[in-house]
Copies of this chain bind each other. A is one copy, B any other.
Amino acid sequence: SEYTPAHWKTREWISGFTGSAGTIVITAGQAGLWTDSRYFLQATEQLQDSGIDLFKMGMPGTPTSREWLAGQLSTGDCIGIEGAVFPASEVLDWIRFFEKHQIHIRTDFAPYNILWKNRPEIPKHPVYLLPETLTGLSAQAKIEQTRLAMREKGANLTIIATLDTVAWLFNLRGNDVEYNPTAVCYAIISENEAVLFISSEKITKEVSDNLQKQGIQIADYSTIVDYVRQKTTSAETSLLITPAKLNYQLYEAINPQTACIETDVHPADQLKSIKNETEIAGIRQAMQRDGVALVKFHRWLENALAAGETVTELDISTKLREYRSEQKQYAGESFETIAGYAEHGAIVHYGATQESNAVIQPQGILLIDSGAQYLDGTTDITRTIAAGPVSDAMKTDYTHVLKGHIALASARFPKGTKGIQLDVLARQFLWKNGTNYLHGTGHGVGHFLNVHEGPQSIRMEHNPTELQPGMVTSNEPGLYRAGAYGIRIENLLLTVPDQTTKFGEFYAFETLTLCPIDTKLIDTKLLNPEEKDWLNHYHQKVYQLLSPFLSIEENSWLKQATALVE
C-alpha cells in the first residue's frame, strides 16, 4: 500500500523518522537511514541524537544501502530482514547481490512483536459490500474475467497481494488504510476456487453470505502461507505471480517445483484499470458533486481573501473537507490536501503542519491539490490561483503549464499508444523555455479506490501499458520555482474512442474534472485560437453541469469564473 497501517511502521518505531519512504539498516556497531531528497531536512531533525546516520539517496558519493552493507560485513555474515514486508523482486535482487560477497540473507527476521511495547494491532475494521449498482459487475463476473486472462497466460492459480485489487475483485471496501478504502487481506484464485484471506472479525454476516453465494470462500488472514505451500505441490499447478507486488514470505512459500509465470502487470490490475459503463457513470456523478463543493470552496476563499480575513493553509484543508463532506456519497479524502502558498507551492509533496502553516497573503500564487472518495468515484484535482496581484513572470509560467495541459487534454492518438509517447505534449512549452517538472504527468485513478493506481501512466519513463478506452488518468503538468511559487493544473482524463479510419482505431481523452481554471493567471497573448477554444468549451461544460446544483450567488460566481477568454 501507498499508506501503511501503524502495525507495520517498524521504520518509524526504530528511528522516529516519519517520512513515507526510506530504509533502515542496522549492524552490530552502526545504523543508517537511506531516504530521498524530499525528506533530507525532516530526517536530519528527526534523527538527531538517535545514533542513526542519514544517507542522502541520489547525492553524489552516497553509497546505496547494499553497497554500504557489503563494505561493513564480511564473508559468512548474515543479514536479517522481514520477508513479509518486502517485495519478492527486491529480496531476490538482494540475495543475488550478497551471494557474490558470500553473505547470507535470513528472511524470517521479525522481532518486533517482542521488542515493540504496545505495538499497534493489525487493523480490524469491518469490510462492506459495494453494490453492483455502483460496480457494474458482480464479484463472480470479475473472477471469471480474471480466470480467462489467467488461462490466456497459461496459468491456473494466482495470488493477489495488493489490497485495492482484492477490493475491486470482490466488490469489497474497508477502512484499514488511510485514504484508500481497502482492507488488509489477500486473495487466491484458481480454476475452481476463489479464496479471500481476511481476519474473521472484519466479516459481517451480510458480507459472508454474499461472498459465499458467489462461490467465494473465506479463510483466515494468517493461513495464506500454508495455503500457498499446499496448493503448489501439484505438478499440474501453473502459478501466475507479479514478483514486484508479492511479498517475499509468500514467494518463499511457493514450492520450487511449481511452474511460475511471472508478469509485471497482473491481469486483475489490467481489468481494474478499464472502468465499465456503470463505473464511468458513477465517476461523472462524483465529479459533479466534487465540482459543486469546489465552487463553494473557491467562492468562499475568494470572498475571504477579498474581505481581508485570515486564511491559512490548514484552513483550506478544513474548508475543502467541510464542503465535500456535505455532498452525497462522500466517504472521505482521497489523500492529504496539499495547500501550498507562495514558496510552499514549490515543494511538490508539501503538507502543511501547525509549524509550517502559512497565512495566505492577498498577492501571489496559491497551489491546492486535493481529492475525495465518493462511493461512486475517486477525485483528484489541482488548481493554482491568484491570491491577489501576480507578476508577469508568474503569468508566463502559468500559461505555459496551461498550454501543456490543454495539448495533452486535446491529444488524439492511435490504439497501442503508451503514456511516454504523449508526455511531451504536456511538457513542450516548458522545455522550450528551459523549464520542466520532475514528476509524472499522469497516473491512473481508481473507482472509489486508490487515487494512485496502475498500470498505465503518462511519464518521461517507459511503461509498456497502452492507454485504453475506460482508463482514468490524471493530466497534471506543473512548474516549481524553488523559494518562490509552484504551479500545477490537474484534471482527470477518460480515454475514449475517437475515430476509426483506414489507418486504424484512434482514441482521445475526455476531461472528467469539473472546476474553473483560474483565468486571472493567464497571459492570453500566449494562447492560440485553438487553446482559447478548448478553455472556453471546458468552462462552458463546467458551467452547464454544475449550475443546476448551485444557489443564485454561487451561480453568479461561477458565471464570472467561466467567462469567455478572448
| A499 CB-CB contact with B under 8 Å | yes
Chain B residues, CB < 8 A from A462: 418, 420, 462, 464
Closest to A422 in B: B424
Tell me if A413 and B431 are in contact (CB < 8 A): yes
Closest to A407 in B: B428
| Complex CA–CA separation, A425 to B501 (angstroms) | 21
Chain B residues, CB < 8 A from A498: 434
Query: A188 → chain B, closest Cβ, in Å?
Result: 28
Chain B residues, CB < 8 A from A423: 421
Query: Size class of A's contact patch?
Result: 20 to 34
Chain B residues, CB < 8 A from A420: 420-421, 462
Chain B residues, CB < 8 A from A425: 424, 428
Chain B residues, CB < 8 A from A414: 431, 436
Closest to A506 in B: B434
Tell me if A503 and B435 are in contact (CB < 8 A): yes
| Complex CA–CA separation, A425 to B423 (angstroms) | 11
Chain B residues, CB < 8 A from A418: 462
Chain B residues, CB < 8 A from A416: 460
Chain B residues, CB < 8 A from A421: 420-421, 423-424, 460
Tell me if B436 and A411 are in contact (CB < 8 A): no
Tell me if A435 and B528 are in contact (CB < 8 A): no
| A60 CB-CB contact with B under 8 Å | no
Closest to A425 in B: B424
| Complex CA–CA separation, A506 to B433 (angstroms) | 9
Chain B residues, CB < 8 A from A501: 434-435
Query: A129 → chain B, closest Cβ, in Å?
Result: 41
| A61 CB-CB contact with B under 8 Å | no
| A100 CB-CB contact with B under 8 Å | no
| Complex CA–CA separation, A194 to B506 (angstroms) | 53
| A541 CB-CB contact with B under 8 Å | no
| A504 CB-CB contact with B under 8 Å | yes
Residue among A434, A504, A506 having the largest count of chain B Cβ atoms under 10 Å = A434
Residue among A413, A417, A422, A503 having the largest count of chain B Cβ atoms under 10 Å = A503
